[in-house]
Amino acid sequence: MSDEKAGYNLFLLLVAGLGGLLYGVDVGIIAGALPYLEATSGLNGGQLSFVVAAVLLGSVISTLFAGALADWIGRKALMILSGVLFVVSIPAIALSHGYQSLVLGRLLQGISAGLIGVVVPLYLAECLIASKRGKGTGIFQWLLTLGIVAAAVFGMYFSFRVEEVAKLGDPAQLFAFKDKAWRSIFWVSLPPGILFVLGSLMLSESPRWLFRRGKREAARAALLRSRTQQQADVELAEMEQALAAEKTKGATGTKVRESLLRRKYVIPFLMACVILACNQATGVNSIIGYNTNILLQSGLSDVQAHWGYVVFTIVNFLMTIVGVLLVDRRGRKFLLSLGSAGIILSLLATSALFRQTEKLRVDSREAVQSRVGENQKLTLLYDQKLANSLVSAAGDAGKALSDRPTSLVVIYSYGDFRAATKVARSDDNAAKPIEVTREGCVPNNKVLAFFSNPFASLDSSRTAPLKIDNALITPMPSTRNGWLVASSLFVFMAFFAIGPGVCVWLALSELMPTRIRSNGMSIALLINQAVSTTIAAIFLPTVGKYGYATMFFAFAACTVIYFVTAAVFLPETKGKTLEEIEAHFEGSA
């Protein structure tokens, strides 16, 4: 291969990697900005929740239409559009001075993320030669993890700066710096977006999209930018054979209905949907999103938990590199099987570690319910004195927890809507009081209410009394236990990164036949996001009521399905052209 073609392939990987970086920034950036946004924006709990969830909402909406858009305007044009939306979203957020503009900017970010999640893996699958396809899609995931790491590092940097300003003792100066901090965190993500747009403008269109549009010579020219003439001729011939076979089999007049129900369409589509659903059922997004809370509950201090999260993101980043290096050598089936097996073992270990202390927890809901005021609100400063009072009301089971450091989580409801407080520790002298309010539980509009609970009555919940469903007090584990939990989660992240993290995008793009690839990827990603949203919605209430041990065990059980699918049913696609993979599912030689 000439230096010119090698250079173009490298450039293509770089641009696609920038797409992954933007996707990672979309996912991770709000975590670092949220504390300062909360302190300076004047938004209530419901509004802040919607600001956080707006990215997910925008992503769900755009994923629905991403496949159809990719077929209509082309893969390249959609990449450019998704980059432009990301670029526009940054000033919309960073310059906002009100709720509406902030939500609009976050929605644009989410729409951009949904489009990128479909079109970049789709573009890579259709443009890269078979021997480089795994590495290319792996780089997308690798830079996605870099985006999450970068967001965590930016958040850590500004937390140190805020602490320095706080020492000056000037509230006005501290407020101004916090306001500047969250805006700066968003501004630093603008340059990658601009580079992604410029890079996308210089790429060729997908040769398979061009061929499907009847532009044979344009498809050939696109292939020749990254392949030798012999490779381009072979792949072009395979495209022609696949299209001719499709026309021949559909010549009876029932072409669309019959062809879409053929095994070469149905089986890979269902397999991709199962893999993407199981990818989220490992609990990865919730483990990333609530990592600091998990480590706090496991026995680590606040500082230790935050450092644990930074190490967690670095493990993800480094092990993704290993996955990228191995995916075209060892294959997708091997890495998915290895990764899912390691995930099962690490989740079971984490579950067992939490079980040791959670089996001693007590429920003091009646004692906490008695403290609810006439305004149907609750404020609790959970110190050792209050902890002793609450556990003494729990009878003999609570006596064993008297005078011991414990944690408290309150699960409460207003009508049909439920929520859980953040974990409070009795040994944290700097902790703020637990505040339970209607605004923190009941959505402030019908759109958010539908996504929270589509069967709930918003109007009745706005006047319903506060009900304490559970007030669960758990003995705090030792610091040693906390580091054991952190280590098991590092192992979880390592196996996820080396297997599902790298291979899931490949499975999504490689398994889908050309005719249904774009729309099939949209549907599969929508299922992925639906599972992620469901887990995010039930995570805190489930953990609060049943404990982390139960939640992690459930994740492990779901991952068993993942392992069986990868080890038994998934074919190896390493080194095969997309047409060869399609022929495999058809049962052709």
pLDDT in tens, 89-142: 999 998 988 888 888 998 898 899 888 888 887 888 788 776 676 677 677 777
The structure tokens listed for 265 are: 């369409």
Which residue type is seen at 383? D
Residues whose CB is less than 8 angstroms from the CB of residue 534 and which lie 6 or more positions away in sequence, other chains included: none
- In angstroms, rounded to a whole number, what is the distance separating the alpha carbons of residues 90 and 106? 9
- In angstroms, rounded to a whole number, what is the distance separating the alpha carbons of residues 64 and 79? 16
CATH of region 276-357+481-589: 1.20.1250.20
Q: How far apart are the first and last CA of the chain?
A: 29
- In angstroms, rounded to a whole number, what is the distance separating the alpha carbons of residues 353 and 552? 10
Tell me the DSSP string of 144-169: HHHHHHHHHHHHHHHHHHHHHHHTTT
Task: With a cut of 70, list the residues of the chain below it in pLDDT.
Answer: 1-3, 26-28, 31-32, 44-47, 49, 130-131, 133-134, 137, 245-264, 302, 430, 451-452, 508-509, 512-518, 521, 537, 540, 575-579, 581, 584-589
Which residue type is seen at 448? L
Determine how many CB atoms are found less than 10 A away from the CB of residue 555: 24
- Residue 55: the pLDDT is 78
Instruction: Give the gyration radius of the chain's Cα atoms.
Output: 26
Q: Is 460 exposed, middle or buried (0-12, 13-18, 19+ CB in 10 A)?
A: exposed
Backbone angles phi, psi at 410, to 5 degrees: -110, 125
Secondary structure class of 47 (helix, strand, coil): helix
- Residue 262: the pLDDT is 64
- Residue 529: the pLDDT is 74
- Residue 148: the pLDDT is 75
- Crossing angle of helices 332-358 and 302-330, rounded to 10°: 160
Tell me the DSSP string of 172-239: HHHHHHHHHHHHHHHHTTHHHHHHHHHHHHTSPPPHHHHHHTT-HHHHHHHHHTTS-HHHHHHHHHHH
Q: Is 382 exposed, middle or buried (0-12, 13-18, 19+ CB in 10 A)?
A: buried
Q: Are strands 406-414 and 417-420 parallel, antiparallel or unpaired?
A: antiparallel
Nearest CA among 211, 255, 213 for reference residue 237: 211
- Residue 255: the pLDDT is 46
Which residue type is seen at 455? F
Q: Is 110 exposed, middle or buried (0-12, 13-18, 19+ CB in 10 A)?
A: buried
Burial call 496-526: b when 16+ CB within 10 Å, e when fewer: bbbbbbbbbbbbbbbbbbbbbbbbbbbbbbb
- Residue 559: the pLDDT is 94
189 neighbors 33 (Cβ within 8 angstroms)? no
- Residue 77: the pLDDT is 92
- In angstroms, rounded to a whole number, what is the distance separating the alpha carbons of residues 84 and 93? 15
- Residue 89: the pLDDT is 92
400 neighbors 426 (Cβ within 8 angstroms)? no
pLDDT in tens, 545-580: 788 899 999 999 999 999 998 888 877 777 666 667
CA distances (Å), origin 188, targets 33, 80, 87, 264, 287: 12, 20, 11, 45, 26
- In angstroms, rounded to a whole number, what is the distance separating the alpha carbons of residues 339 and 348? 14
- Residue 428: the pLDDT is 76
Q: Are strands 362-363 and 466-475 parallel, antiparallel or unpaired?
A: antiparallel
Which residue type is seen at 478? S
CATH architecture of 1-203: Up-down Bundle (1.20)
Helix (H) or strand (E) holding 557: helix 548-564
Nearest CA among 193, 61, 68, 192 for reference residue 122: 68
Backbone angles phi, psi at 373, to 5 degrees: -80, 175
418 neighbors 366 (Cβ within 8 angstroms)? no
Backbone angles phi, psi at 526, to 5 degrees: -65, -40
Which residue type is seen at 507? A
